[in-house]
Amino acid sequence: MQNPTLIHLFEQVKSRNPYETEFHHAVEEVLSSLEPLFEIEPKWLENGVIERLVEPERFIHFRVSWVDDRAVVRVNRGFRVQFNSALGPYKGGLRFHPSVRPSIIKFLGFEQCFKNALTGLPMGGGKGGSDFDPKGKSDGEIMRFCQAFMSELYRHIGSDIDVPAGDMGVGAREIGYLYGMYKKLSNVHAQGVLTGKSVHYGGSLVRTQATGYGLVYFVENMLKDKGEDFKGKRVIVSGSGNVAIYAMEKAQELGAVVIACSDSNGTIVDEKGLDLAMIKEIKEVRRDRIQSYCEVYPHASYIADPKALYEFACDIALPCATQGEIQIEQAQSLVEKGCRFVAEGANMPSSLNAIQYFLDQGVYFGPAKAANAGGVATSGLEMSQNSLRLQWSFEEVDQHLHAIMDDIYAQAKQTAILYKDPDNLVMGSNIASFKRLAEAMLAQGVI
């Protein structure tokens, strides 16, 4: 960062939010890439726009008490950040993971504001979650936890106020329990209050697949710009959760060979191409560890280290697990092994110096807020269907999703060209989303 006003603002963010390193990272990435905009149009530094953007409108922190299967009382922390409502009701997922703390929720909420702006849909930015660890919990424990969580959250949300969805550890099952409790407490069957619902009571077709499919549609655009496509490309995908599984599915459908994926314990590699039906069976049905893939396919190998994924030769890497998984070492390894395209399915998987390294080395890089916006975009489409009291077909939603991802790519690319760094999609997507958000904030006065 060179601009003295921005340096000062960033120092303020650090001192007002001490020890919140993930939040600092997210703010630094955005502010530093906005510099070319401020050079040409310094007006954006006025009216406290940046000062307001980096301060959440509201941060809610609550106790979640519940009883486990052994009748022991357990206490977790619940959070919801309502970051920015300039573009619409707060919108963003809930994450249940032991690593959840204010810094994580704030970085995710901050990112969400820009991501939602890129979709072109009327959604503000929010995020929430708990340090609850769903691993090893029975179905009854998950249900009781979700009910306890909603018994506080329900008073802060609503279809025109704040619309949570899933994220890590929160899928259709958890959304179902949360929705049931919301309905009971509020006595309102307001389908638009949560997205990621089952299709049986107001969910949208394609929502399950949306983030992964959307990521691949985004990468399709990146490849097309370089005169290439997915056919025959070697792809590695980190994680084996919701985003990873459907990114692998769409990449395979488009002719790629997905050779490796991971979970938080380790990496599996199958040079013949992974059998996705088996991965779905292991992770979605049995809720087991990815290692068990090798019991069925002995020719595949397992390495008890999730970061080993980045040591395999590939053309395209899709980090779809969690924040901080690509540090400079993993970035260097990917480049050495010939990787030429990286696109983020997870939120903030790459460190700032890893991103800079990719840009310097000519790796075409798709940043999270653009590349993984398909999930929230389809949540926006779910809200539209709930308001209309209609359900669109799979093909219809998929077409909308595809068009939105093409548009996000076009916005990022055209803005990058305009600001004279044509392959810098980080800058392109940050400037494009900032302008939409800032225009809306300025139009609504100082609030």
Where along the sequence are the contacts to ligand NDP (CB under 6 A)?
A: 166-169, 211, 238-244, 262-265, 306, 320-322, 325, 345-347, 372, 375
Task: Name which of 10 and 114 has its Cβ closer to ligand NDP.
Answer: 114
Report how far residue 20's alpha carbon sits from residue 14's, in angstroms, rounded to the nearest whole number.
8
Q: How far is the CB of 372 from ligand NDP (least distance, A)?
A: 4
Sheet holding 162-165, edge to edge: 58-67, 73-84, 125-130, 90-96, 162-165
Q: Which is nearer to ligand NDP, 78 or 241 (CB)?
A: 241
Among residues 193, 7, 230, 214, which one has the least CA distance to residue 89? 193
Smallest distance from the beta carbon of 256 to ligand NDP, in angstroms?
19
Rounded to an integer, what distance in angstroms lies between the CA atom of residue 437 and that of residue 87?
Answer: 7
Nearer to ligand NDP (CB atom), residue 151 or residue 195: 195
Residue from 91, 127, 197, 413 carrying the catalytic annotation = 127
Q: Where does residue 114 rank: exposed (0-12), middle (13-18), buried (19+ CB within 10 A)?
A: buried
Residues 276, 245 contacting (CB under 8 angstroms): yes
Per the listing, tokens 């779809």 go with 320
Closest distance to ligand NDP from the beta carbon of 75 (Å): 22
* Closer residue to ligand NDP (CB): 168 or 381: 168
Q: Give me the least distance between CB of 265 and ligand NDP, in Å please.
A: 6
| Alpha-carbon span 100 to 81, nearest angstrom | 13
Q: Which residue is nearest to ligand NDP (CB)?
A: 241
C-alpha separations of 196 from 99, 107, 192, 307 in Å: 22, 22, 10, 30
Nearer to ligand NDP, 192 or 306 (CB): 306
The rounded distance, in Å, linking the Cα atoms of 216 and 254 is 9
Q: How far is the CB of 307 from ligand NDP (least distance, A)?
A: 7
CA–CA gap between residue 325 and residue 317 (Å, rounded): 12
Cβ within 8 Å of residue 20, ≥6 positions away: 102, 103, 106, 107
Please indicate whether residue 283 is annotated as part of the active site.
no
Which residues carry out catalysis? 127
